[in-house]
């Protein structure tokens, strides 16, 4: 190995190389979306030289990758803090009214509403805001509401090391409201129950505790 090659190898650590690869993949995704969105706009007959539209393909690419679909990238999963359940709390912990903003995978328009998440702790409790962050992370991608509901439930089972989890989501779907059947008033409710919440008594206690 000559001195030049030696120098090349020593410039970056393995972690830095991984970061550079991630950045370049990120840039590539942005460019791909920008390119294809410009084609969609052209096909619609929009003029890309219009000053207000010129940057739109770039804006859409940034919005998809960095914002509304960031849940497609596992690296964006929030850091989670747990605490030992020192008080031996064995009742339901319920976080209600969590904002849900997601995208329908069939039409790529938003569905939005709220979630209620409950669990009965065993040895650990989770930082409350982390529940909101987990919901937000899984919401940030195109999908159907059923999948979102189950995904949050399964992840919490795993993180909290308990089966006793209940989730309720209710949402308005713009694909139902703004087009197609054009029904703005209807909304969709989905549930996930596991462990103790499969019993009718616990299920009702959860459903009766959440806000309307
Ligand atoms: N189960 C489920 N269906 C959804 C969700 N979001 C949207 N959909 C439905 O996905 C279906 C797609 O149906 P298609 O017949 O393929 O599409 P379409 O012709 O645009 O259907 P319309 O919306 O009825 O005009 C529609 O009935 C949507 O209402 C969701 O979260 N869960
Ligand atoms: Zn839809």
What pLDDT is attached to residue 212?
81
What pLDDT is attached to residue 140?
98
Options 28, 55, 106, 184, the catalytic residue: 106
Which residue from 92, 45, 68, 25 is spatially nearest to 174, judged by alpha carbons?
Answer: 68
Q: Each residue's pLDDT tens digit in the chain (212 positions)?
A: 455 555 555 678 888 888 888 889 999 999 999 999 999 999 999 999 999 999 999 999 999 999 999 999 999 999 999 999 999 999 999 999 999 999 999 999 999 999 999 999 999 999 999 999 999 999 999 999 999 999 999 999 999 999 999 999 999 999 999 999 999 999 999 999 999 999 999 999 999 999 98
Residue 54 carries which DSSP code?
A: T
Is the CB of 50 inside a 6 Å radius of any atom of ligand 1?
Answer: no
Question: Which residues sit in the known binding site for Zn(2+)?
Answer: 104, 107, 175
Write the residue with the smallest CA distance to atom 9 of ligand 1.
106
Is the CB of 176 inside a 6 Å radius of any atom of ligand 1?
Answer: yes
Write the residue with the smallest CA distance to atom 17 of ligand 1.
106
pLDDT in tens, 90-122: 999 999 999 999 999 999 999 999 999 999 999
- Complex ipTM, two decimals? 0.95
Is the CB of 146 inside a 6 Å radius of any atom of ligand 1?
Answer: yes
Question: Which residues sit in the known binding site?
Answer: 104, 107, 175
CATH 1.10.3720.10 fits 82-209, yes or no: no
Q: Which two tokens stand for residue 200?
A: 């009718």
What pLDDT is attached to residue 9?
59
Q: In CATH, what is the architecture of 3-68?
A: Orthogonal Bundle (1.10)
Options 136, 143, 145, 168, the catalytic residue: 145
Q: Which two tokens stand for residue 208?
A: 């009766």
Between β-strands 142-143 and 93-104, what pairing exists: parallel, antiparallel or unpaired? Answer: parallel
Residue 106 C-alpha to ligand 1 middle, in angstroms? 6
Which residue from 120, 167, 118, 159 is spatially nearest to 139, judged by alpha carbons?
Answer: 167
What pLDDT is attached to residue 14?
84
104 among known catalytic residues: yes
Distance in angstroms (rounded) separating the CA atoms of residues 212 and 207: 10
The helix (H) or strand (E) run that includes residue 143 is strand 142-143
Return the ligand 1 atom nearest residue 176 CA.
Answer: 29
Ligand 1 site-directed mutation target among 100, 104, 105, 106, most atoms within 8 Å of CB: 106
Q: pTM here?
A: 0.91
For the chain, the domains span: 3-68, 82-209
145 among known catalytic residues: yes
Is the CB of 181 inside a 6 Å radius of any atom of ligand 1?
Answer: yes
């Amino acid at each position: 190995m000559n001195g030049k090659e030696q120098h090349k190898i020593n410039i970056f650590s393995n972690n830095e190389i991984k970061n550079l690869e991630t950045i370049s993949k990120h840039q590539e995704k942005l460019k791909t979306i920008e390119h294809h969105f410009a084609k969609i706009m052209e096909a619609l007959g929009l003029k890309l030289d219009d000053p207000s539209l010129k940057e739109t393909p770039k804006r859409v690419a940034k919005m998809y990758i960095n914002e509304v679909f960031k849940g497609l990238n596992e690296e964006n999963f929030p850091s989670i803090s747990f605490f030992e359940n020192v008080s031996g709390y064995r009742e339901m912990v319920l976080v209600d009214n969590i904002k849900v903003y997601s995208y329908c995978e069939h039409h790529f328009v938003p569905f939005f509403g709220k979630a209620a998440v409950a669990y009965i702790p065993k040895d650990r409790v989770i930082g409350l805001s982390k529940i909101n962050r987990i919901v937000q992370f899984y919401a940030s991608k195109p999908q159907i509401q059923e999948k979102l509901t189950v995904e949050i439930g399964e992840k919490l089972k795993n993180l909290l090391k308990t089966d006793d989890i209940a989730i309720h989501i209710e949402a308005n779907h713009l694909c139902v409201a703004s087009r197609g059947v054009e029904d703005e008033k209807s909304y969709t409710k989905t549930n996930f129950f596991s462990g103790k919440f499969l019993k009718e008594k616990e299920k009702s206690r959860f459903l009766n505790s959440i806000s309307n």
